[in-house]
Amino acid sequence: MKALYRPLYNALTAGETLLSLNQTIQKLRLQNLYPIADYIKESATTEKDVQRTTDEYMKLVNVRDLDYVALKPSSFRFQEKPMERLIEEFIRNNKRVLIDAENVAHQDKIQTLTDAFIEAYNTDNVWIYKTYQMYRRDSLDTLTRDLERFPNHGVKLVRGAYWNQDRATGALFLQKSDTDTAFRAALKQCLSRTNYSMFHAMICTHNSDDIQCMIDTPKRHICHASLYGFIPSDTQKLVKAGISSYKYLPYGAMEDAIPYLIRRIQENPYILQYLFH
């Protein structure tokens, strides 16, 4: 199994250790790109798993040239306290936190946690970002409501990564065109914001039309993010247009990476032609 996924792992992650993560960060900086660190372990089942994940994230507190960290609530068994401790350490060290969205079964818990963190920590600055999955039928309404609700707000805009798992739940659009429409409407809402000190958006997209829209309407409260190993040419277009572009850097043990790699294959099967030929 490991041999099957090894080429994909090597191409789409920052490796297994903090050293390899640091090396990848420095490689990105040479390309005028910025990192988002994402420890790859998902869906903790025991308190030992939670402690292991917490310990790994604590190592990121003092990593240089790292301004953003992504947290996946399932990695903490949806427990507020360990996430809270990490968030406070990251903020003390001027690092912002993206709270990832996950599958439909867990999303209500994640939304409750994220909203609580926003209310607690986005008091004087935008430290916490909430993820909006635009393949969900309710996400555009949720975003609109949250933009009114939170005085300081961070938005992470995505299409969604759990289609194969969640498409039968009734919560998702069944046509890609509907998701595209919702994503573009959300992007326009973000681009139209004027109070830069109270709002910031991380637009996570591999779609060329979205990227062109960002280039045509640059705003200093908007930045771009994509997965490590994806869209190198479009990424450089954004950099040349003066838009800050980030790369998600998942890192950690190979055996913990399988769920992440499977989602990438399901979403983007074309990448296999570059790895297995």
Are 139 and 182 in contact, with CB atoms under 8 Å apart? yes
pLDDT for 270: 60
The span from the CA of 139 to the CA of 137, in Å, is: 6
The span from the CA of 180 to the CA of 134, in Å, is: 8
Q: Which residue would you say has higher pLDDT here, 44 or 265?
A: 44
Are 106 and 142 in contact, with CB atoms under 8 Å apart? no
**pLDDT tens-digit map of 78-94:** 999 999 999 999 999 99
The span from the CA of 254 to the CA of 40, in Å, is: 9
Q: Residue 266 pLDDT > 90, yes or no?
A: no
For the residues 232-249, what does the mean pLDDT come to?
A: 95
Q: 180-188 long-range CB contacts below 8 Å, 24 or more apart?
A: 180/207, 182/134, 182/135, 182/139, 182/140, 183/134, 183/157, 183/159, 183/207, 183/210, 184/209, 184/210, 184/213, 185/140, 186/132, 186/134, 186/139, 186/140, 186/143, 186/157, 187/157, 187/213, 187/214
For the residues 93-106, what does the mean pLDDT come to?
A: 97
**pLDDT tens-digit map of 159-202:** 998 998 999 999 999 999 999 999 999 999 999 987 767 999 99
pLDDT level of residue 248 (50, 70, 90 thresholds): very high
Q: Residue 5 pLDDT > 90, yes or no?
A: no
The span from the CA of 52 to the CA of 41, in Å, is: 9
pLDDT level of residue 3 (50, 70, 90 thresholds): low
pLDDT for 28: 97
**C-beta atoms surrounding 113 within 10 Å:** 20
The answer for residues whose C-beta is within 8 angstroms of residue 261's C-beta and 6 or more apart is 5, 8, 9, 12
**C-beta atoms surrounding 38 within 10 Å:** 25
Are 30 and 12 in contact, with CB atoms under 8 Å apart? no
Q: Residue 145 pLDDT > 80, yes or no?
A: yes
* Alpha helices by DSSP H, 59-138: 80-92, 104-121
pLDDT for 99: 98
pLDDT level of residue 1 (50, 70, 90 thresholds): low
pLDDT for 11: 87
pLDDT for 195: 74
pLDDT for 269: 66
pLDDT for 277: 44
Are 156 and 98 in contact, with CB atoms under 8 Å apart? yes
pLDDT for 272: 56
pLDDT for 213: 93
Could you say which DSSP state residue 198 is in?
G
Which residue segments constitute the domains of the chain, with CATH numbers given? 2-275 (3.20.20.220)
The answer for residues whose C-beta is within 8 angstroms of residue 4's C-beta and 6 or more apart is none
pLDDT for 274: 46
Identify which of 221, 214, 228 has the alpha carbon closest to the alpha carbon of residue 198. 221
Phi and psi dihedrals of 37, rounded to 5?
A: -80, 135
Token couple for 22: 């640091």
Q: Residue 239 pLDDT > 50, yes or no?
A: yes
